Structure 1
């Protein structure tokens, strides 16, 4: 039975753990392996790890680091960054990773989604859609290459296409809200839930458990992912890895699912 998932998202740059604000100003926050160990102890539902420079620098996935992460990780792991071929996806899955995430490659070569799904299973294919609201418009455009290239395509249309091609999960990642910790784009998520039937995860904007509660209360069974919220503490953004304990999490999810919409 599907249930809401609360998912830390770790960004990797030059092998280290970083956090960004609106996809810029990356700040080094530590060793990703240490973060994984803490999330293991706190029994996180799932973990997303994204190498944010692999595609931009035209680099292959760091298979050595991926294998170390997979060996350490005791929860389902989704890895993305630099994946452009079926062979690369297979190699990552073979190292112990449960899901592979693709973004730019899915837009440039949509059939890659189908090809990877056919080889490793639809449930293991995640398409991440980085989006930004168009000025003076309600449309959210999909951007690629770490928020540097605007495809000028509506994120809802692209999500529907990716589902049809074989994506087992869609992650919508807000460039506008990234690192700002001021809440998720609930309106867009509600529209997406009406557009696709595959599992959906929202990323970008979490600043509190109440922000996550609002998502689950409004949208039901979705993935709620966050970066800054799980690695920073307080107004001065001191680095402190955190995650709700199991009792707090279960109580929180139950109350969110049974609250009045």
Structure 2
């Protein structure tokens, strides 16, 4: 039985970690290198870094931040935001990232998923899927640009497609749940995990310790990602893992 992973997410804007609700009203949380190092010591299984504004100006900062962080941590580091080409993949992997997460660029150029998997290996290609439930409740559409643009793509079909193209993992964010603290989107996460045979990271909506158990109990996700809960010290990673272990969930302590 594979252990379930607990992953803190650092949304980085102009070299600082920020947090907002549905990607707006961003508040400064601190220095990404220091925060990542802290989570590494605390027992996080991985760290995800997302350059949420991904401006071309921010790119250099990001590579610099990735380098400094990779030197300080001993767990896998996934980096996303503004990665559009194989050269971007190469540069960020060279800076010390273990995996690269792509979102909008995969939607705009699905071949990028295939080419990156062929060149660098599936294990380091993560496709981030942000989904929102359709108004008629018939399923979920893929949204990009921080949830501002509805692509019209069906999220479940898109997950199947990127899996077939060679992606090694899906980072799934429910835009309906994101920042609400009402819990992970069980229905959406279940639909995606049932459709693919690669690891899925559940993201968006975690508000308390029980939510971690709920998502592992009710879906086949492999990992749960959270941000503000950890950043604002409402919970520690250790507390979450001990709680899950007591509940019979296999975790790495």
Q: TM-score, normalised by structure 2?
A: 0.91
Equivalent residue, structure 2, for 1:236: none
Indicate conservation of the 8 Å contact 2:6/2:237, yes or no.
no
Indicate conservation of the 8 Å contact 2:141/2:151, yes or no.
yes
Equivalent residue, structure 2, for 1:145: 145
C-alpha deviation, 1:97, in angstroms = 1.0
Asked whether 1:18 is paired with 2:11, we answer no
Residue 32 and residue 21 in structure 1: after superposition, are their counterparts in 2 closer, same or farther (change >3 A)?
A: same
C-alpha deviation, 1:220, in angstroms = 4.3
Equivalent residue, structure 1, for 2:163: 163
Residue 121 and residue 2 in structure 1: after superposition, are their counterparts in 2 closer, same or farther (change >3 A)?
A: farther
Equivalent residue runs for 1:195-210 within 5 Å:
195-210=195-210
Residue 215 and residue 152 in structure 1: after superposition, are their counterparts in 2 closer, same or farther (change >3 A)?
A: same
C-alpha deviation, 1:141, in angstroms = 1.0
Alpha-carbon distance between aligned partners in 1 of 2:207 and 2:249, rounded to the nearest angstrom: 20
Asked whether 1:67 is paired with 2:59, we answer no
Between the two proteins, the alignment pairs up a number of residues equal to: 249
Indicate conservation of the 8 Å contact 1:220/1:257, yes or no.
no
C-alpha deviation, 1:43, in angstroms = 1.6
Equivalent residue, structure 1, for 2:82: 82
Equivalent residue, structure 2, for 1:255: 247
Structure 1: segments with no counterpart, 5+ residues: 233-239
C-alpha deviation, 1:250, in angstroms = 5.0
Equivalent residue, structure 1, for 2:237: 244
Partner SS for 1:150: strand
Residue 58 and residue 135 in structure 1: after superposition, are their counterparts in 2 closer, same or farther (change >3 A)?
A: farther
For residues 167-211 of structure 1, the C-alpha deviation after alignment (integer angstroms, 9 at most, x for no partner) is: 100111122221121101101111111100010011000011210
Alpha-carbon distance between aligned partners in 1 of 2:206 and 2:54, rounded to the nearest angstrom: 25
Structure 2: segments with no counterpart, 5+ residues: none
Alpha-carbon distance between aligned partners in 1 of 2:191 and 2:21, rounded to the nearest angstrom: 25
Alpha-carbon distance between aligned partners in 1 of 2:142 and 2:169, rounded to the nearest angstrom: 16
Q: TM-score, normalised by structure 1?
A: 0.89
Alpha-carbon distance between aligned partners in 2 of 1:86 and 1:242, rounded to the nearest angstrom: 37
Indicate conservation of the 8 Å contact 1:179/1:227, yes or no.
no
Alpha-carbon distance between aligned partners in 1 of 2:234 and 2:39, rounded to the nearest angstrom: 8
Question: Which segments of structure 1 move beyond 3 Å, counting only runs of 4 or more?
Answer: 57-61
Asked whether 1:49 is paired with 2:65, we answer no
